[in-house]
Structure 1
Amino acid sequence: MDWATSIYASPKARSRSVDRRAGSRPGVIASSRSMMERVHGQDIARPLHRDRPLPAGPAVAALTYVAGDRFYDAPARLADLHLVATDVDWTSGSGQEISGTAGDLLLIATGRPAGLAGLSGPGMDVLTARMQGPAPRLGR
């Protein structure tokens, strides 16, 4: 499945396609490739005001992967926050609660402020300040 076709394919077909491509490329972690497809899909859909729901299984896998990945500085950004996905069965961390869809949580976990608008909870002030702070150094 080529990239242009994959945008219009069902989420399940896109997931199989991304995972198949990732498995055929040396040194590429399938979960990383799958996560990137989910995040970049949200990057494209948001400015176009399109809803792009994430399938539950891949959404949980992507959130779990990113929440612990230092490349995106997620552990520092999300420290002392309890994230709760409202559309899939996923939680992470402890502290002040932040809740929202898997797509919004995935965006903020990867450092994209576009996800803030769909989130709520007592930890929003902390998260907003962290998102507006200096850009984290990648790969710490």
Structure 2
Amino acid sequence: MRLSTSEIWQLVHEERAQLADDLSALPTPRWETPSLCEGWSVHDVLAHLLDTALAGRLAFAWSMVRAKGDFDRANENGVRRYRHTDPSQTLAAFREAGHLQRTPPAHRATRLVEAIVHGEDIRRPLGIEATYPSAAIHEALNYQLRTTVSFGGGRERAQGVRLVDAATDQTWGTGPEVTGRAVDLLMAVSGRPVEGGVLTGPGAPHLVAGR
């Protein structure tokens, strides 16, 4: 069942607040830990999350104009704009922006994808464990599965396999099964590395190789 707009925003706000809490005592040197986003530190990813929390449709359009239509360059520009010298200032600004409901010209579920996937991009290298409501992960996974890789989704990666959430038995797709935690399925579909053995079943090698 699809979540309503208000339900999605409530989950996004909760995830932003939880990430801010998780990072509140992070020692300064650890902010430069490489994230799961190639070339970005965990501080960079938080700056990106701050950028996307602040950017509505008009701001997004202007960012693309300044980047001459290059989406990756626009993201890099946003990181430079909102990454404070002192990580605690970036974190404070992120916490302050956590209640906002701004989106680029894209489905609201993208904010939930960002909150969870980028949250894990930060947490996993730092060894921070997190739990997420099944409804939040399922909504994010549904979006990624219907969105092409070229638009930030993961539809092609999951083609030809059947994903199974081990906790709820919720399934997506057809083909050889890939079973695991929903968050690990989401990360793999989103092109992120997952530890060996966390996804099982005959379709797991195909999904992991597809990143």
Specify if TM > 0.5.
Answer: yes
The equivalent position to 1:108 in structure 2, one of 174, 182, 188, is 188
Q: Report whether the alignment pairs 1:86 with 2:166.
A: yes
Aligned partner of 2:134 in structure 1 is: 56
After TM superposition, give the deviation of residue 44 of structure 1 in Å.
1.2
Structure 2 runs not aligned, ≥5 long? 1-12, 23-96
Per the normalisation by structure 1, the TM-score is 0.72
The equivalent position to 2:144 in structure 1, one of 42, 50, 66, is 66
Letter in 2 for 1:49: G
Letter in 2 for 1:68: R
Distance 1:79 1:25 in 2: 28
The alignment-based identity, stated in percent, is: 31
1:40-99 per-position Cα deviation (integer Å, ceiling 9, x unaligned): 111111112222111111111001111111123522111110001112453110000001
Structure 1 runs not aligned, ≥5 long? 10-16, 132-140
Aligned partner of 1:29 in structure 2 is: 107
Q: Summarize the Cα distance change of 1:104–1:4 in structure 2 as closer, same or farther, 3 Å threshold.
A: closer
Describe the SS at the equivalent of 2:126. coil
Distance 1:69 1:110 in 2: 10
8 Å contact 2:161–2:203 — kept in the other structure?
yes
Describe the SS at the equivalent of 1:98. strand
Per the normalisation by structure 2, the TM-score is 0.50
Q: Summarize the Cα distance change of 1:4–1:95 in structure 2 as closer, same or farther, 3 Å threshold.
A: closer
Q: Report whether the alignment pairs 1:125 with 2:210.
A: no
Look at both structures and tell me which one has the larger radius of gyration over its CA atoms: 2
Letter in 2 for 1:99: T
8 Å contact 1:116–1:128 — kept in the other structure?
no
Q: Summarize the Cα distance change of 1:6–1:127 in structure 2 as closer, same or farther, 3 Å threshold.
A: closer
The equivalent position to 2:156 in structure 1, one of 56, 76, 83, is 76
Aligned partner of 2:120 in structure 1 is: 42
Describe the SS at the equivalent of 2:201. coil
8 Å contact 2:191–2:210 — kept in the other structure?
no
1:99-118 per-position Cα deviation (integer Å, ceiling 9, x unaligned): 11111011011111236652
Distance 1:95 1:38 in 2: 26
Deviation >4 Å, runs of 4+: 3-6
8 Å contact 2:117–2:187 — kept in the other structure?
yes
Superposed CA RMSD: 2.7
Distance 2:169 2:116 in 1: 17
8 Å contact 1:83–1:92 — kept in the other structure?
yes
Q: Summarize the Cα distance change of 1:4–1:34 in structure 2 as closer, same or farther, 3 Å threshold.
A: closer
